[in-house]
Amino acid sequence: MRRAHTIFTLLCVPLTQVYGKLLDSHNGQLLHLTSSTGSFCPWHRDYLSLTPEWAETERSPLGLVAGSCAGNLSQEICVYSNPSFGNSQGIAFLTSPKRAARLAQSTTLTDPSLHSQTERLNMVTNPKWEVQPIPGKGMGVIATSHLSLGDHVMSATPAIVQDSAIFELSDDEAMELRIRAVEHLPPVLRSAFLKLTTHDHAASLSERIEKIIDVNSFELDLVGDVEDDEGEKSWLAVFPDISRLNHACRPNAQYYFDPLTLTQHVHAVRDIHPGEEITVSYINAFQTHRRRQKKIASMWHFGCTCDFCSKNRHQIKASDERILQIQKLIKEFQDRTPRSKATPQAAELLISLYRQEKLWYAFYEAYTMAALEYSFVGEERQAIMYARLAIEHGIASAGPDDENVEMMRTLARDPRNHWSWMYRIDIREGNY
């Protein structure tokens, strides 16, 4: 049975001059205090939510930052930190005491051996790339060696992880907590965080932190290996190293998230040559399982006008028409009724359209659909060929544990005993 001890200090105090902290632009360190305006009057709580094991040892993998809670009893957010997390990179969470207690029980935070098994985790430098200024983009990541499809680019854990419930706090309360979280990052990680882009000028430290989080956050559905209560909200995380990768709608690399280790992995999705910028798409078709089908195709073209800055209007129109045709084809593949117009030949067309649009990071989806369509009509060898291609691209784009990658493994091993074998033939003949 869990026991909890709560100490309340009913004290309302002025906002403690934190918004005027100066940032040394050279080394990214926090400097001295100056004046500020506003007030900050949350319940100040020191909260310990303990399992029997923690009660005996009085130790927890998450430490509450003193005086860092805001909100009220029904919706309270606090700052928790672990400076040794991720091969001693460190991490800070902004979340509720309830979710923090759940995180503190997770294998993610209680098994330090997890991260020792992750390839080149949180390495600042990598022999295959380096961070350089990119004209018109600020900083970016440039390949220094040749990268092939599936080659590892980087793996990183986040610096700041926010519970999305933080948006239910007032702006002043949320900003105070974010500043406290950044203050309690280890110096190297804090410096890396504060050097991230804001895309425009930030007049104060508080504004800089706000813009860094807005510009560089990734949405996560699951953090740790302990399931959240039904209906609880998602998380937002900032990965400083990965945020150095600039966005492209037709990227040459892709990332996926491992919730067990809180690690974002980046791999090449096509050949990348020395001197070429490594890019990812922040409009991520594979970021979550639950929303995958809603994101495919509908988001590719969003915000991608600059990809065509060198194209004339006829080329742009042709690309728009290809995107519309991709969307139409995907709807046909999703139709599993006898009326569906989907065929293996339509899947081949889809692959061709992906190739023309240079959607390398989404080839996984096209090959998966082709493998299924060939299996649906009993074409064994073609089904195996495309299943193997889907596996190769899927490991790089969505991760080796992705549910569709596993489905393709099963199909490639034994198509005739896969659920998809002869599906469209059988359903048209009324055998289902």
Q: How many residues does the chain have?
A: 432
Q: What percent of the chain has a predicted confidence (pLDDT) above 90?
A: 58
- Taking Cα atoms as reference points, which of 376, 368, 315 lies closest to residue 342? 376
Question: Average pLDDT in the 9-20 region?
Answer: 30
Per-residue CA distances from 414 to 221, 387, 426 (Å): 33, 11, 18
- Residue-wise pLDDT for 332-350, tens only, equals 999 999 999 999 999 999 9
Contact 137, 1 (CB under 8 A): no
| pLDDT recorded at residue 43 | 33
**CA 151, 156, 159 angle in degrees (round to 5)?**
160
- Residue-wise pLDDT for 16-62, tens only, equals 333 333 344 334 444 333 323 333 333 333 333 333 343 334 467 89
The model's pTM is 0.80
- One-letter amino acid identity for 225? D
Residue 9 structure tokens: 């200090």
Q: What are phi and psi of 220, to 5 degrees?
A: -125, 135
Q: How many CB atoms within 10 Å of residue 237?
A: 24
- One-letter amino acid identity for 100? A
Q: How many CB atoms within 10 Å of residue 230?
A: 5
Q: DSSP states of 20-35 as a string?
A: T--B-TTT--B-----
Phi/psi zone of residue 340: left (φ > 0), alpha (ψ -120 to 50 degrees), beta? beta
124 pLDDT band (50/70/90 cuts)? low
| pLDDT recorded at residue 119 | 74
Distance CA 158, CA 350 (A): 36
Q: Is the pLDDT of residue 356 over 90?
A: yes
- What ranges make up the beta strands (E) of 221-327? 235-238, 246-247, 253-258, 263-268, 277-280
Distance CA 335, CA 330 (A): 9
Q: Say which residues have a Cβ less than 8 Å from residue 359's Cβ, sequence separation at least 6.
A: 250, 300
122 pLDDT band (50/70/90 cuts)? confident
117 pLDDT band (50/70/90 cuts)? confident
Distance CA 160, CA 163 (A): 10
199 pLDDT band (50/70/90 cuts)? confident
Residue 418 structure tokens: 């896969």
376 pLDDT band (50/70/90 cuts)? very high
DSSP 136: T
Q: What are phi and psi of 103, to 5 degrees?
A: -60, -40
Give strand pairing partners of 258: 263
Terminal Cα distance for the chain, rounded: 50
Question: Average pLDDT in the 346-372 region?
Answer: 96
Q: How many CB atoms within 10 Å of residue 119?
A: 10
429 pLDDT band (50/70/90 cuts)? confident
* Mean pLDDT for all residues in the chain: 80
Per-residue CA distances from 312 to 304, 317, 348 (Å): 15, 9, 28
Sign of the four-CA dihedral 414, 419, 420, 424: positive
Q: What percent of the chain has a predicted confidence (pLDDT) above 70?
A: 78
116 pLDDT band (50/70/90 cuts)? confident
| pLDDT recorded at residue 249 | 86
Residue with tokens 């200024």, as numbered in its chain: 133
> Higher confidence at residue 85 or residue 304?
85
127 pLDDT band (50/70/90 cuts)? confident
Task: Kindly state the greatest CA–CA separation across the chain.
Answer: 77
| pLDDT recorded at residue 118 | 78
Q: 156: helix, coil or strand?
A: strand
Query: Where does residue 316 rank: exposed (0-12), middle (13-18), buried (19+ CB within 10 A)?
Result: middle
Question: Average pLDDT in the 263-285 region?
Answer: 90
Q: For the sheet containing 253-258, what is the strand order?
A: 152-156, 263-268, 253-258
- Residue-wise pLDDT for 221-259, tens only, equals 888 887 766 556 789 999 999 999 998 989 999 999 999
Contact 251, 221 (CB under 8 A): no
Per-residue CA distances from 1 to 52, 99, 101, 163, 422 (Å): 7, 17, 13, 26, 53
Q: How many CB atoms within 10 Å of residue 148?
A: 10
| pLDDT recorded at residue 427 | 87
364 pLDDT band (50/70/90 cuts)? very high
| pLDDT recorded at residue 432 | 62
| pLDDT recorded at residue 151 | 96
| pLDDT recorded at residue 225 | 81
| pLDDT recorded at residue 25 | 38
Residue 378 structure tokens: 């009993």
Contact 402, 256 (CB under 8 A): yes
Q: Is the pLDDT of residue 74 over 80?
A: no
